[in-house]
Every structure is written in C-alpha cells, then in structure tokens.
Structure 1
Amino acid sequence: MAEEETELSEEQRKEIAKWFLLNAPAGEIQYVAKDLKSVLNDDDVYNEAASEAFPVYNKSHMICLEMPGRFGDVLVTSYGELQDNDYLDPKTAQVAIVDHVKQVCTEVRPATDEELPSPYIEEYRCALDAEMSKYVGEAYPKGFCSVYCTNGKDAEGPGSDFELVVVISAARLSPQNFCNGSWRSIWNIEFKDDIQILELKGKLQVGAHYFEEGNVQLDARHECKDSTLFQSPDDSAVSIATIIRHHETEYLASLEASYLNLPDTTFKDLRRKLPVTRTLFPWHNTSQFSLTREISKELGIGK
C-alpha cells in the first residue's frame, strides 16, 4: 500500500519558496516570484518568503537602483547598508531608502556626518572612486562601481590604518533573447600605515544564463591577492586601479581561453572513450561525418 503523502507546513513551503528566489539567476527574480506566487496560491506564505529573500538577493547580486530627484544611481550592497532599508551612496553623500521586493528606491535623504568618513579618509576614497569610475566606464558599458570605507573611517590623519572596499557590478539582461549575465567583483584594500603597504584581496564572480530551448548556467568564481605602496591619495588610486584592471583583464582572458578549448577538453571528456562502434571518434577530422548522409544511407532515401 502506497504511503500517504504528507502535506508541507507553511514554514516548509516558505523555505522552499525562499530557496527558489535566492537561487534565481541575475535579473530573473521577479519572473521567479511571479510564478511562485501563482504556485503557492497563498499570499501570506509568499509575502513572508519574499520579504526575507529579496533583501539577501539584492545585496548578493549588488543590484543598481536609480535614486529619485536625479541624484544618480545607488548600489545595494552590505557595505553601504546603514540600517533596515537605508543604503549609502558615498559618491553623492546621499542615503537611498529601498523597497527590496519592488526593487526600487522610494526616497533619498542627505547622509549625516556620522555616516560619512573623515575628510582624511574621504580624500583617499574620492580619488579611488574617480579612477575606478574611469576604468569601469571603459571596461563595463553596463557597469557601476562604488567605493566604501569599511574600517577606520574616523581617522583624522596619517598614522592610522583603514580599509576601503571597491565594488563593481555589471549586468547584461536580455530576457527577450533568452540570455542574462552579470559580473560582480569586490576588492578589499587595507591601508597599513606602519609598513606603508596597501594589500588588495579580490573576489570575482561571473554569472550567465541561457535558456532558449534549454537551461544552461555559468557560475564562475575567482580570488586573487596583490599589494602596492602606500602613497598619496591620487598615486594610490592610480596604483590600485592598475592592479584591479590587470587582474580582471587576466581573468576574463582565462575564461575566454577555456571556452575556446571546450570542444577539445570538456566536451570531448563527456563522450565515451569507445562508442558502440568500438572505434575512437576522429576529433581531428570531423568533416568526414554527415548526419544527413548517414541517415539517408540507413533509410535508403534518395535511391
């Protein structure tokens, strides 16, 4: 006798809904949410799952939202999160209030002095922001960047260590063509005054989703480290931007090279070493095979 099916509790359904929302590819969470709402057919469960999942998703994907009042754009990241739904945009010294589920910025207010770094730190942050904006504008046409001070923001002058974080977020969304993609990179820069060294740690993540008559996803991650001399704000900014440009360009080149080698490596390994015919597949000369010719031969078409 078949076992009776047990009905899922509201908590279980909420957790399952959250999993689907959190694992939605870049730019597709609203589509997933629409389908989930229809499948759940329970507004209370959906609203609870959405209220918990959307903030996490938005911050992990570092989405960019337009601020009202022509203030520009704000990146939704954990580095700029002040409280609840308030996110700092260091470039404009504005705080955006965000509706996570609707993924819109509802209002803007000026940042307070306590929410901003000291003039000494701001000089370094502003110089680096300018250099990174220049780089991102050249490398990522659909990209945005922001520079935050995450440690030692109250330092008033030389002699103190502090830390800046560079966040780069770029998305290429084309659902009408069944493909979406994103680039996310986070660079932690530790300014160590005692040894006059800047230490950089980078985390790069590339995602892509192709879903025309199928479902293929890419989720590539890479970490790297580097260092340079602690110099003036402008010189430090140039050095940091040069290092970031080098590592990101190098990583993109390695991804392109791996794609070019896919037919000779990954795809080849997916195939049987010895197929049913017991003969190795001639990868060096595939032009001798014609599916149409073989089928015609087998079925006697054209005779």
Structure 2
Amino acid sequence: MPLPARSNVRALIEDDRLYNMAAAEAFPLFNKAHLVVLEMPDRSGDVIISSFGEIDKDNFFDPRTAQVATVDHMKQVCTKVRPANDEELPSAYVEEFRFALDAELCKYVVDTYPKGTCAVYCTRGKDVDGPGVNFDFAVVISASRTSPQNFCNGSWRSIWTLEFKDDLQVVEVKGKMQVVAHYFEEGNVQLDAKNECRDSTLLQSPEDCAVSISNTIRHHEAEYMASLEESYLHLPDTTFKDLRRKLPVTRTLFPWQNTLQFSLTRDISRELGIEK
C-alpha cells in the first residue's frame, strides 16, 4: 500500500493503537495478494511475498537464493535473511527441474516486464529423489510500476501451477493472469482484468522441460495482452457508446426558430392557450 494511502487511513482512524492492530492483520494479506517484491538487505536478490514461499507470517522463502527473508509488512521492507534449512529445500532431483525453469523464466521476464520478478517454488513432492513420482511447481511473475507524478499506477501478476505427471509423461500447465491499472488525473479510472488458461507439454529432461514450459507461458501471456490491446482499442466505439443514453441520430441542427413542428411543443402550447 502506498505511503500516502497509509497516512490517510491513519488520519481517518485517529487512533494509533487501533490502526496498528488493524494494519498488523491487513498488511500481510495485502502484500501476499499483490505479490509485493522486496529487496533483500544484502542485495543478494529479491523475495516475492506469496503464499507459496510463506514459512510463517513474517518469513518467506526465496528459492533462487535458497534464503529465508524476514519482512516488515507495514514498512514493506526486508529486515534480514538467513540460509534455508535442508527441510525447506527441494531434493537435488527436483532442484534440477526448478533451477532450469527458473533460468529460462528469468530471460523471459527480463525481456517482457520492466522491473519484473519471477520465482519457481516446489509446492508438492520436494523430497522426490528420482523418476517415477509426481511433483508440482508454482511459477509466480510479478511486475509493477508506480508513477504518481504522471497520475498512473499499474501491475501484472500471474501464477502458473505445473503438475509433473511422471506416469503420463506430461506436465499439466494452468495459469491465472491479472492486470491492474489506475489513472487518476482529473478523474478516477481503474482496470482490473483477469484471465485463466490451461495447457500441457511433454515431460522431458529438465532443460527441455524448462524451454517448453517457458514458451507455453510466454505464448499465453502474449496472447492475453494482445487480446486486451484489441478490446481496449475499440472501447470508445463499443463499451463507452453503450454507456450513453440512447437517442435518435438525425445529424440535423435543432430548429430553435420553429419548435412548433414538434408534437410536444404543440401540445404544451395548446394546453396553455398560446397557440399562434
């Protein structure tokens, strides 16, 4: 939550104790819902505040650096980091797939989202030590841009769940994408668009899987962004027109000098006895 918004809420409540109690509950939920990205204090990387990396309310696992970050939700800062325990890390076999996919997705995110961040979490089967057993990943992509001096903010958030099904030799891919934009110059216009999709690819080597999954995510996200651009390109001629009052269009000037030609004017004149 931006600092001005926090100040406004505090001013409205006028009770610091009550504000701190409410904020202690609200800010962790806000940060996780918005996939807030925080820089680690040693600048070794960034940690995404998400339920997939949540160890407890204030500690979040970053799979790329294999560290656990402690965060201050209200200040939205990372206060310290520690190395992850063995119990918090996936097996070497699973890490091969996770590491390869993370590397491919980093290339994609750098090319597509300015200031974007991604992470790949093992959500099930992190102790799998070889072929023959299924396991799941979650891919999180978060990118945001705030420009209050230009009266606009925006963010992109996408979550992809990957099911590695060894028995079927397939990877099931399910995605949820969300775009939020807010323009507030001489008005208040907000966009909150969501989309879901699913796909699948063959279960191959870690490197081949990474390329295939990354291309699948790239394809669906590009397709969704293209559809958004197409729909909003025609927005003035469709949605905005539907919001207007339906009136006949004659493309002629209103004849103020001869209003008696309209039945309403004649009726009123007759009732008032002022007919010419």
TM-score normalised by structure 2 residue count: 0.89
Query: In the alignment, which residue of structure 2 is the partner of 1:131?
Result: 104
Query: In the alignment, which residue of structure 2 is the partner of 1:112?
Result: 85
Query: In the alignment, which residue of structure 1 is the partner of 2:152?
Result: 179
Query: In the alignment, which residue of structure 2 is the partner of 1:280?
Result: 249
Q: How does 1:181-196 map to 2 (within 5 A)?
A: 181-196=154-169
SS at match of 1:122: helix
- Once the two structures are TM-superposed, the CA of residue 224 in structure 1 deviates from its matched residue by 0.2
Tell me which amino acid in the other structure corresponds to 1:130.
A
Tell me which amino acid in the other structure corresponds to 1:47.
N
The alignment status of 1:80 with 2:49, answered yes or no, reads no
Do 1:273 and 1:280's aligned partners in 2 also have CA atoms closer than 8 Å? Answer: no
Query: In the alignment, which residue of structure 2 is the partner of 1:69?
Result: 42
Of the candidates 217, 233, 239, which is equivalent to residue 266 of structure 1? 239
- Once the two structures are TM-superposed, the CA of residue 214 in structure 1 deviates from its matched residue by 1.1
Cα distance in 1 for partners of 2:250, 2:34 equals 42
Alpha-carbon displacement from aligned partner over 1:1-27 (angstroms, at most 9, x marks no partner): xxxxxxxxxxxxxxxxxxxxxxxxxxx
- Once the two structures are TM-superposed, the CA of residue 29 in structure 1 deviates from its matched residue by 3.9
Alpha-carbon displacement from aligned partner over 1:65-95 (angstroms, at most 9, x marks no partner): 0101121111111100012211111001011
Structure 1, unmatched stretches of 5+, are 1-27, 283-287, 290-303
SS at match of 2:122: strand
Gap change, CA 1:281 and 1:131, over 3 Å in 2: farther
Of the candidates 248, 253, 256, which is equivalent to residue 226 of structure 2? 253
Number of aligned residue pairs: give it.
Answer: 253
Alpha-carbon displacement from aligned partner over 1:245-291 (angstroms, at most 9, x marks no partner): 000000000000011111111011111221xxxx3277xxxxx99xx
Tell me which amino acid in the other structure corresponds to 2:168.
I
Cα distance in 2 for partners of 1:127, 1:195 equals 21
Query: In the alignment, which residue of structure 1 is the partner of 2:192?
Result: 219
Cα distance in 2 for partners of 1:134, 1:144 equals 11
Cα distance in 2 for partners of 1:280, 1:268 equals 13
SS at match of 1:102: coil
The alignment status of 1:58 with 2:18, answered yes or no, reads no
Do 2:174 and 2:197's aligned partners in 1 also have CA atoms closer than 8 Å? Answer: yes
SS at match of 2:3: helix
Q: How does 1:85-100 map to 2 (within 5 A)?
A: 85-100=58-73
Query: In the alignment, which residue of structure 2 is the partner of 1:198?
Result: 171
- Once the two structures are TM-superposed, the CA of residue 31 in structure 1 deviates from its matched residue by 2.2
Cα distance in 1 for partners of 2:127, 2:250 equals 66
Tell me which amino acid in the other structure corresponds to 2:8.
D
Cα distance in 2 for partners of 1:281, 1:66 equals 61
Do 2:143 and 2:156's aligned partners in 1 also have CA atoms closer than 8 Å? Answer: yes
Cα distance in 1 for partners of 2:192, 2:57 equals 29
Query: In the alignment, which residue of structure 1 is the partner of 2:257?
Result: none
SS at match of 2:97: helix
| Structure 1 residue ranges (4+ consecutive) displaced by more than 6 angstroms after TM superposition | none
Cα distance in 1 for partners of 2:57, 2:191 equals 32
Structure 2, unmatched stretches of 5+, are 254-276
SS at match of 1:79: helix
Do 2:28 and 2:57's aligned partners in 1 also have CA atoms closer than 8 Å? Answer: no
The alignment status of 1:169 with 2:135, answered yes or no, reads no
Query: In the alignment, which residue of structure 1 is the partner of 2:9?
Result: 36
Cα distance in 1 for partners of 2:94, 2:62 equals 16
Cα distance in 1 for partners of 2:153, 2:57 equals 29
Cα distance in 2 for partners of 1:228, 1:266 equals 37
Query: In the alignment, which residue of structure 1 is the partner of 2:212?
Result: 239
- Once the two structures are TM-superposed, the CA of residue 212 in structure 1 deviates from its matched residue by 1.1
Cα distance in 1 for partners of 2:42, 2:160 equals 30
Cα distance in 1 for partners of 2:177, 2:186 equals 29
Cα distance in 1 for partners of 2:190, 2:11 equals 25
TM-score normalised by structure 1 residue count: 0.81
